A and B are shown apart, each in its own frame.
Chain A
Amino acid sequence: EVQLVESGGGFVQPGGSLRLSCAASGLTFSSHWMSWVRQAPGKGLEWVANINEDGSQKYYVDSVKGRFTISRDNAKDSLYLQMNSLRAEDTAMYYCVKDTNWNYNYWGQGTLVTVSS
């Protein structure tokens, strides 16, 4: 059974940083693209970033470019999202999603990030 478990969310002041992690199990992690998707409270889903199997290709939504960095450690079956210069509008639940062959089939339970002074 595929499991994706996010961690690292929390409360941070504007301008601060957080690093989200996603631990994967039940799949050959190194064979799959992975994505981060977020959802602000009471709002819709927003695609944030994704990364290919070996980490050589990374893509971001415009609103986070230059502030967020997606990465992975295939030896640890883990996905990361380093978030810097956080803004109030980054407040959201952040989901780790397996993204393979244009198929977003498995989602983690999410980790909540709150940016507020």
Chain B
Amino acid sequence: QTVVTQEPSLTVSPGGTVTLTCASSTGAVTSGYYPNWFQQKPGQTPRALIYSTNNKHSWTPARFSGSLLGGKAALTLSGVQPEDEADYYCLLFHGGAQPWVFGGGTKLTVL
């Protein structure tokens, strides 16, 4: 069974920079895993931020960026704002009979 692993929690100061990562139990994450990133605030529907590693949606704030880093997918927030406090989830494509797997999510605290 494929497992996708994210940091359970991270804390960042306002104005700071933080990187969230997303690893697959199958090995190094590449562009072929088409990493997607989502933000979810309490009581709200998940909102798409990044697709196919580093592509932003029209609504994605410029301070969010996606990349591959050390065999993992990564989401970097630069110049963090208080409103960025949320849960963040990655989604990776593995193909096969069960093609997509979410990570367990990272709870980001802005403090």
Q: Do A and B come from one complex?
A: yes
Q: CB within 8 Å of B: which residues of A?
A: 35, 37, 44-47, 50, 59-62, 95, 101-110
Chain B interface extent, by class: 20 to 34
Give Cα A106 to B87, complex, Å.
Answer: 18
What are the residues of chain B within 8 A of A59 when measuring CB–CB?
A: 97-99
* A103 with B101: CB separation less than 8 A: no
Please name 11 pairs of A and B residues whose Cβ atoms are closer than 8 Å in the assembled complex, sorted by A: A37-B102, A44-B103, A47-B102, A50-B99, A60-B97, A101-B52, A103-B55, A104-B36, A104-B48, A107-B45, A109-B45
Residue in B1, B97, B99, B101 with the greatest tally of chain A CB atoms within 10 Å: B99
**Are B45 and A110 within 8 A (Cβ)?**
yes
Contact among B52, B89, B98 with A102 in the assembled complex (CB-CB below 8 Å) = B52
The docked-state distance in angstroms from the alpha carbon of A107 to that of B45 is: 7
Choose one: A45, A101, A103; the contact of B89 (CB below 8 Å).
Answer: A45
Q: Given A45-B46, A45-B102, A45-B105: A102 and B51 within 8 A (CB)? A: yes
Is B64 among interface residues, defined by CB-CB distance under 8 A? Answer: no
Interface check B20, CB cutoff 8 A = no
Other-chain contact of A62, B1, B57, B103 (Cβ < 8 Å) = B1
Bound: A110/B43 CA distance, A? 11
List B contacts of A107 (CB < 8 A).
Answer: 45-48
| Of the residues A104, A109, A110, contact of B38 by C-beta under 8 Å | A104
> Bound state CA distance, A47 and B2, in angstroms?
12
Does B108 lie at the interface of the complex (its beta carbon under 8 Å from any beta carbon of A)? Answer: no
**Chain A residues near B57 (CB, 8 Å)?**
105
CA distance A46 to B45 in the complex (A): 14
A95 touches B46 (CB 8 A): yes
